[in-house]
Structure 1
């Protein structure tokens, strides 16, 4: 077995660490920064607090970021960076904010639109503005990956872009920032952490350091996500989920995600299901599918390492976890027609499927959607 591990992001973890952001910026050695955040943080005052604590090192704010960041938003953010002559970027928010900031920080060094690189295979330029990522959700892992997932509404496309210069220079992880996450965001981002860990482990690109991170992160999710969901101000649960999120990011950053993420893109893009919830919808199904492949023992080994008797027990526990935190376990409420299912099957053929240890055929995808649309799977009250 041959493998390479690289993680260029300096991780700063701990309660209250957002209050030390000025010191991180000074360590970076840059000035005239731009703060990229969600509209909600502009309204809540968190963005103003972070801006003021930087004491002049931040000079502009961009907050026009949607839940699934769009290519036009990336271009608008990059245009503001050019206009301001920004020297660095602070991304304060969830995966959407970080993905947009990553892409804009590179495009700002050019006169290009991000559409030249989105789903085209064209290599991004190496120049970029340095980025400090400050996640406010326990999910996505975007703060330690070189990937940005973007949507293009004009073409109906949602796809990731990978580039080494998308890695932030710093990730500042402050669990206290997750206390105000709505329950639905806690649930969706939390199940995304679990999917990243599981998929990173069984990916065809798996390697031992990422394997160890995947097991650790998954254990934390099973143990602490229900508590973080039920008790949003439980300091221990929030800290452990923040730990799970960053470790899960390390688990999949190199191996990349697989089948559940591939299927999630059309479920989000076409039907508006939040990203994490869309990933979690199929992870138990693909657990059973991948356990039947030639590398199925890895799935069994993972389940046992996390603390289950076998992979079936883990798959059942995932279903129960989704129910416990209010996530969907089927698609029955969409009342999908055969034509819509046909379209979904075709849209699921995303490059991430190539990372899956079992070849995902149309027959498997039709069986998946048959399972998800069957009334027999409908959630119990």
Structure 2
């Protein structure tokens, strides 16, 4: 077996470490010209203004004019500010949307291009980029340690990831205290994304030993601590352990890439508005059973390594976890037509699907979606 491992992101983990943004920037020689990319929530609650004030002039601009599942036009708008103001680095503070936008803007700003030129076109991104400091506020995407930016082109009805080595942040600061205000349903959805990343990273065709070890570490933390974090949002141990699971799951899937559940999540989110992590989790137990005996028993070994008798027991536990934290287990409420199911099947043939260890046919996808369409 041949494999390579590289993780260029420096990781700082622990309560209160968001206050180190200024020091991290200074260590890189960045004392001015910083753009803070963050959500309206952190603008309105004063967090953005506080970080700017505490930066001693390092952060000079704030960009919050973007939507969940950020659009290519919003990336271009942020890049335009970087160019116009001659900014020197970017800090992304938020969930996956802030991270995705910041990664793409920090790269495309060094060109005269639109990010749309690279979105789903196969055209490779230029590798030049501004330094990026990533500060996640959800325990979910793992985006702070990945080279992936998932963007939407609403004009074309397209949501897809762009992968570029230039998207790796320079430093990730993971401060669990930032997740305390995340609402329960968002916590649940983000946590299911973590579980999907870990499991899919393990069974991906691109699996390799270091990422396998990360997956085996991260997955049990989600089963144990996600229900606690949802039920008691200020439980310090649960929040810290979910942040630990999130960053380590990010390491687990970055190189192997995600597979079937993530491929199916894109149309479920794009067409039907189901949050990304919830959409991933919706099909995760189904694909666990499909992949149960793949890779000469590796998937069964994974289930046993994280504490289950076999893959069927793990799939049952995934289903039960969704019920416990209030996530979807079916699509019956959408009253899907045959034509809508056909669309889901067609759009699920995303490149990630071909990382799955078992070949997934259209008939298999249709069986799955018809089952989900009849399930509460």
Runs of 4+ in 1 over 6 A off after TM superposition: none
Distance in 1 between residues matched to 2:316 and 2:114, nearest whole Å: 45
Distance in 1 between residues matched to 2:308 and 2:71, nearest whole Å: 40
State the secondary structure of the residue aligned to 2:172. Answer: strand
Conserved? CA contact 2:293–2:299, under 8 Å: no
Pairs aligned (count):
375
Which runs of no fewer than 5 residues in structure 2 stay unpaired? Answer: none
Offset of residue 49 of structure 1:
1.2
Tell me the residue number matched to 1:313: 313
State the secondary structure of the residue aligned to 1:291. Answer: coil
Distance in 2 between residues matched to 1:65 and 1:243, nearest whole Å: 27
Tell me the residue number matched to 1:345: 345
TM-score by length of 2: 0.99
Tell me the residue number matched to 2:271: 270
| 2:50 equivalent to 1:23 | no
RMSD, aligned α-carbons = 0.7
Conserved? CA contact 1:258–1:352, under 8 Å: yes
Q: Which moved more, 1:277-286 or 1:44-53?
A: 44-53
Distance in 1 between residues matched to 2:130 and 2:66, nearest whole Å: 19
Offset of residue 296 of structure 1:
5.7
Tell me the residue number matched to 2:77: 76
Tell me the residue number matched to 2:360: 360
Conserved? CA contact 1:290–1:296, under 8 Å: no
Tell me the residue number matched to 1:92: 93
Conserved? CA contact 1:12–1:170, under 8 Å: yes
| 2:276 equivalent to 1:245 | no
Conserved? CA contact 2:293–2:300, under 8 Å: no
Conserved? CA contact 1:228–1:238, under 8 Å: yes
Tell me the residue number matched to 1:141: 142
Q: How does 1:1-381 map to 2 (within 5 A)?
A: 1-30=1-30, 31-293=32-294, 295=295, 297-374=297-374, 377-378=375-376
Conserved? CA contact 2:227–2:325, under 8 Å: yes
Conserved? CA contact 2:140–2:190, under 8 Å: yes
Distance in 2 between residues matched to 1:28 and 1:187, nearest whole Å: 35
Offset of residue 292 of structure 1:
4.0
TM-score by length of 1: 0.98
**Cα-to-partner distance string for 1:1-50 (whole Å, 9 max, x where unaligned):** 00000000000000000012111111121231100001111011111111
Distance in 2 between residues matched to 1:250 and 1:213, nearest whole Å: 7
Which runs of no fewer than 5 residues in structure 1 stay unpaired? Answer: none
